[in-house]
Amino acid sequence: MATTTALSTFNVSKSYSVTRNHLQFRTFLTYSLSSRSSEFLTPCKSSLIDKKLVVPWIEYAFSARTLHVTAEVNSPEKKKWKPIKELTSEPRYSKAARRFYNENFRESSSQRLSKVLAAAGVASRRSCEELIFDGRVTVNGSVCNTPQTRVDPKKDMIYVNGNRLPKKLPPKVYLALNKPKGYICSSAESQTKSVLSLFNDYMKSWDKRNPGQPKPRLFTVGRLDVATTGLIIVTNDGEFAQKISHPSSGLSKEYIATIDGAVHKKHLIAISEGTLIDGVQCTPDAVELLPQQPDKTRPRIRIVVHEGRNHEVRELVKSAGLEVYSLKRIRIGAFRLPPDLLLGKHIELKPPQLKALGWGEK
């Protein structure tokens, strides 16, 4: 009905053809248009002759939507013009456009100088403070000896040992590593291998995966001793590391301790009662003897703690008169080590996984 009403306003001198979604006119057309319906047509090389619009030899393709609206406008029941919402609504910008604007045009808030240097990959936060105290950092041409100085790397000229700090800071990186035995959680030079060496291939391919982005300086969140395996978080976000590693976060950590020897009920009671570590009474949240596995002869104990003190689980087991054969961390907060993640391999953490660690949506 709408199409019939729309076509009734047109005087067509020759035949026309109808396709699936468009009505095509390939002929010399003469239109008898009202003042309102002319808003839908913008012909070229036209002239008005006796209130009729003559369009010489030009092709028009009208969609079903256009014909429907034209019919509504010319209908006697529709006396008032109603604008189409799709044409008058505010434009919607894509996520990529908003991200580009935020990174290049929005004013960034200033941060502490030591934090900016650490985020840029100069060194650890503590080492950056030492560089600032030694007078090896300048801000806008003046030596700065205060790590708490507020700076903006996009506006301020920051030099470290004579080298200009890049204006653009590297993006935040969050990784979960299945730490193998024999690696230390430190970036200091040592004969013992560092877990950060397991990310050499990741850093080599950084420029290919993130063109134009500065390389991040990675460090571990907390530590696992050289003989302990399992879940360790690696990042370049100091605020994130401070939050999830601080005891105030209340994040529990689950370990599986394989014991060398027999385990009895008295041992489990002794572990659950806790022990003194550095003058502080440490009591585990849960202690459980796991069922015996057919392929493993040694008993295993599941221990959940939240203090996070150095060698806490090993000290708890030792105070009960037991000896740890191997120790593995399998959970931090609500994030559990993926069972298919091989030793020495890592995965990038997504927002749901970060939320499980108590970081929330970023």
pLDDT at 45 over 50: no
Q: How far apart are CA 147 and CA 108, in angstroms?
A: 19
Entry pTM: 0.64
Of residues 331 and 76, more confidently modeled:
331
Q: Is 80 left (phi over 0), alpha (psi -120 to 50) or beta?
A: beta
Nearest to 333 by CA among 233, 250, 224: 250
**Domain coordinates of the chain in residue numbers?**
111-164, 170-246+342-350, 252-332
Q: Which residue has the tokens 């609206």?
A: 69
Q: How far apart are CA 133 and CA 158, in angstroms?
A: 15
Residues in Cβ contact with 334 at an 8 Å cutoff, skipping those fewer than 6 apart: 356, 357
Query: Of 67-71, 100-104, 303-307, 341-345, where does mean pLDDT reach its minimum?
Result: 67-71
Q: According to the model, what pLDDT value does residue 303 have?
A: 96
Q: According to the model, what pLDDT value does residue 280 have?
A: 86
Q: How far apart are CA 16 and CA 67, in angstroms?
A: 15
pLDDT tens-place string over residues 318-350: 999 999 999 999 999 999 999 999 999 999 999
Residues that are catalytic: 225
Q: How far apart are CA 202 and CA 98, in angstroms?
A: 28
- Residue 348 tokens, joined: 């990038």
Query: 122-131, 146-155, 206-215, 284-293: which has the highest mean pLDDT?
Result: 284-293
Summary mean pLDDT of the chain:
77
C-alpha dist (Å) from residue 3 to 8, 9, 38: 9, 11, 17
CATH number for the segment(s) 170-246+342-350: 3.30.70.580
Largest CA distance in the chain: 109
Q: Are the folds of 170-246+342-350 and 252-332 the same?
A: yes
- Residue 20 tokens, joined: 């699936």
CATH number for the segment(s) 252-332: 3.30.70.1560
Give me the percent of the chain exceeding a pLDDT of 70: 69
Contact 175, 231 (CB under 8 A): no
Looking at CATH, the fold of the domain delimited by 111-164 is given as 3.10.290
pLDDT tens-place string over residues 177-201: 999 999 998 766 665 789 999 999 9
Q: According to the model, what pLDDT value does residue 107 have?
A: 52
